[in-house]
């Protein structure tokens, strides 16, 4: 899925960068740079128990984007407009929506599913659930998750409250089979699209009929792929028809297997809008690279949207991010990487590559260098989820300092104290650069993003920097003394790598590049060069 992202991304990026079409409501945004952060003491209407929960998280004030969203959503007229946020990586977008949603739901009388937060990947969804978990229980709200690669039975047990029938009593069988005996065990659900659709289609008692808030986080990523039509399905299932009724399974659009949604949503006076008696579904869409493509935005069916952005440029990098480049000699890029990692003296680093294959090889190669300072692990779509989570946790805890990653980790992931991001492979698209670089310099901290370049890439990289609004990206001054010892151990490490890699049958159109044979030395030298570039 992650690797597939690139193809769709290519087209989307080119289209977005070249189009000057901006929808009218995006032309007069709220500029978050004019909003000040605000202490919890002075934040209007903040629930005292939420204040306590935030303080326990070590938060004493809200960041500008959080203050801006708070003012739009809390108090009179709150949540009347849908909100679209384009704000840099690490600026605190998660809490910007989690806090107002939890505050608003804190006054709910009955438990039912009122807020749905959708994210593109499992790890990201669990990270966001962690933020809700830290604040929602303080006001009696319950949070659930529905993400891929976890047990669906476990999900159901967590999400749906089944009635306990008393053995001594007689029940009308019609009552027992009817859905009103089942209810939601959660107020807020954080989900990935695939698992969400599983529940919509198959889980008895799972219903969106009471949904009031829909958050589409990493919007541009989620809108790029249809994921079984999750968005039109959710919108259809939460839309009121003219007579105030919500679609049933007989509505042509809705798949006939929507067993869970056969209950018709009744009119409610909980919250009205423009004289309508039913609650409107309020939507929040957020990203550090929010799409401006009208054909994408229209999918969200936004209501009188308000656009919040940071500054006047299309993209913005975190304020304390320093960008640096290293020009590498052809054929020995790994030597530069190891030299760079040594110069960083054990600081936490994420190294990004362009593919799962390169991630795997580079990780092995680094470990064959045998440097105790450089203990690397792999994190990519090529690993199964359990291994991925284990490596990520080890990295979070600081048990390993270097995580070699494909773009699976580029979006949204928040790992404390990552001081450096290294683009081993130059990112092809400005958005990829923004999201990769944004794994550091988060929450107002300082961080550095290094990009390793071959001579032939320098020009293209300068063009990319212009698009992301970063004119300055000096060469990182690194002493050649650091490289010389690394060069000496490079060839043996590479030989070990070649030995360790299972020979694979070459497929048409696919470079293998790791098979060792005993033809001429010349061939091998060329081969080593190619391997080094790929690794």
Ligand X SMILES: Nc1ncnc2c1ncn2[C@@H]1O[C@H](COP(=O)(O)OP(=O)(O)OP(=O)(O)O)[C@@H](O)[C@H]1O
Residues contributing to the site for ligand X (CB under 6 A): 59, 62-63, 66, 87, 89-95, 288, 412, 414, 438, 442-443
The distance of closest approach from Cβ of residue 63 to ligand X in the complex, given in angstroms and rounded to an integer, is 5
Q: In the complex with ligand X, which residue's Cβ is closer, 287 or 531?
A: 287
What is the 3-state secondary structure of 327-377? ECCCCCHHHHHHHHHHHCCCCCEEEECCCHHHHHHHHHHHHHCCCCCCCEE
Tell me how far, at minimum, the Cβ of 85 lies from ligand X, in Å: 9
Dihedral sign, Cα of residue 134, residue 140, residue 145, residue 151: positive
| Shortest distance, position 102 Cβ to ligand X, whole Å | 14
Question: From the CB of 215, what's the least distance to ligand X, in Å?
Answer: 11
According to the 3-state scheme, what is the secondary structure of 107-176?
A: CCCCCCCCEEEECCCHHHHHHHHHHHHHHHHHHCCCEEEECCCCCHHHHHHHHEECCCCCCCCCCCHHHH
Taking the C-alpha atoms of residue 448 and residue 271, their distance in angstroms, rounded to an integer, is 47
First to last CA, the chain: 22
In the chain, % helix, strand, coil (3-state, to 5) comes to: 40, 15, 45
Q: How far is the CB of 334 from ligand X (least distance, A)?
A: 28
Q: Which is nearer to ligand X, 95 or 300 (CB)?
A: 95
Q: Which is nearer to ligand X, 443 or 475 (CB)?
A: 443
| Nearest-approach distance from CB 487 to ligand X, in angstroms | 36
**CA–CA dist 294, 286 (Å, integer):** 16
- Residue with Cβ nearer ligand X (326 or 421): 421
Measured from the CB atom, the residue of 60 and 330 that comes closer to ligand X is 60
* Cα atoms found within 13 Å of the Cα of residue 375, Cβ hemisphere only: 9
Which is closer to ligand X, CB of 155 or CB of 220? 220
Of residues 288 and 383, the one with the C-beta less far from ligand X:
288
Judged by beta carbon, residue 136 or residue 494, the one nearer ligand X is 136
Query: How many angstroms separate the CA atoms of 467 and 106, rounded?
Result: 42
∠ CA 174-176-179, nearest 5°, is 90
Are the C-beta atoms of residues 310 and 32 closer than 8 Å to each other? Answer: yes
With respect to ligand X, which residue has the nearer C-beta, 35 or 95? 95
Tell me how far, at minimum, the Cβ of 431 lies from ligand X, in Å: 11
Q: How far is the CB of 83 from ligand X (least distance, A)?
A: 14
| Closest to 282 (Cα-Cα) out of 477, 423, 77 | 77
**What's the closest the beta carbon of residue 246 comes to ligand X, in angstroms?**
32
Hey, what are 261's tokens?
């949604």
Q: How many CB atoms lie within 10 A of CB 507?
A: 8
């Amino acid at each position: 899925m992650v690797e597939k992202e690139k193809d769709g991304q290519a087209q989307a990026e080119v289209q977005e960068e070249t189009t000057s079409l901006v929808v009218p409501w995006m032309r007069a945004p709220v500029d978050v740079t004019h909003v000040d952060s605000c202490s919890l003491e002075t934040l209007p209407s903040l629930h005292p128990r939420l204040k306590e929960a935030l303080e326990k998280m070590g938060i004493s004030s809200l960041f500008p984007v959080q203050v801006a969203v708070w003012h739009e959503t809390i108090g009179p007229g709150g949540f009347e407009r849908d909100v679209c946020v384009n704000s840099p990586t690490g600026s605190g977008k998660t809490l910007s929506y989690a806090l107002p949603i939890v505050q608003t739901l804190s006054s709910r009388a009955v438990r039912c599913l009122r807020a749905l937060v959708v994210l593109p990947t499992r790890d990201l969804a669990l990270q966001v659930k962690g933020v809700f978990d830290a604040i929602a229980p303080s006001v009696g709200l319950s949070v659930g998750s529905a993400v891929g690669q976890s047990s669906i039975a476990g999900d159901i047990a967590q999400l749906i409250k089944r009635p306990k029938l008393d053995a001594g009593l007689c029940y009308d069988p019609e009552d027992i089979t009817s859905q009103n005996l089942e209810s939601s065990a959660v107020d807020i659900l954080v989900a990935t699209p695939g698992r969400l659709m599983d529940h919509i289609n198959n889980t008895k008692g799972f219903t969106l009929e009471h949904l009031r808030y829909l958050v589409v986080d990493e919007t541009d990523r989620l809108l790029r792929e249809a994921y079984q039509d999750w968005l039109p399905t959710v919108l259809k299932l939460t839309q009121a028809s003219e007579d105030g009724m919500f679609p049933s399974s007989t509505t042509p659009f809705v798949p006939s297997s929507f067993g869970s949604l056969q209950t018709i949503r009744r009119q409610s006076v909980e919250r009205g809008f423009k004289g309508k008696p039913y609650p409107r579904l309020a939507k929040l869409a957020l990203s550090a690279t929010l799409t401006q493509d009208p054909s994408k935005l229209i999918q969200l069916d936004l209501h009188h949207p308000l656009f919040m952005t940071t500054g006047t440029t299309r993209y913005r990098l975190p304020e304390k991010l320093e960008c640096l480049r290293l020009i590498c000699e052809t054929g020995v890029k790994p030597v530069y990487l190891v030299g760079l990692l040594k110069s960083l003296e054990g600081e936490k680093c994420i190294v990004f590559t362009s593919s799962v294959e390169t991630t795997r090889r580079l990780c092995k190669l680094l470990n064959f260098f045998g440097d105790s300072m450089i203990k690397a692990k792999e994190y990519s779509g090529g690993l199964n989820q359990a291994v991925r989570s284990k490596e990520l946790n080890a990295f979070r805890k600081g048990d390993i300092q270097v995580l070699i990653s494909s773009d699976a980790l580029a979006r949204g992931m928040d790992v404390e104290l990552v001081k450096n991001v290294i683009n081993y492979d130059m990112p092809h698209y400005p958005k990829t650069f923004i999201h990769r670089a944004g794994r550091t310099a988060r929450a107002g901290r300082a961080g550095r993003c290094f990009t390793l370049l071959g001579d032939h890439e320098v020009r293209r990289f300068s063009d990319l920097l212009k698009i992301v609004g970063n004119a300055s990206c000096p060469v990182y001054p690194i002493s050649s003394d650091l490289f010389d010892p690394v060069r000496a151990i490079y060839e043996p490490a590479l030989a070990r790598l070649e030995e360790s890699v299972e020979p694979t049958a070459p497929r048409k159109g696919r470079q293998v590049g790791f098979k060792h044979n005993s033809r001429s030395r010349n061939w091998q030298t060329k081969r080593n060069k190619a391997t080094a570039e790929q690794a």
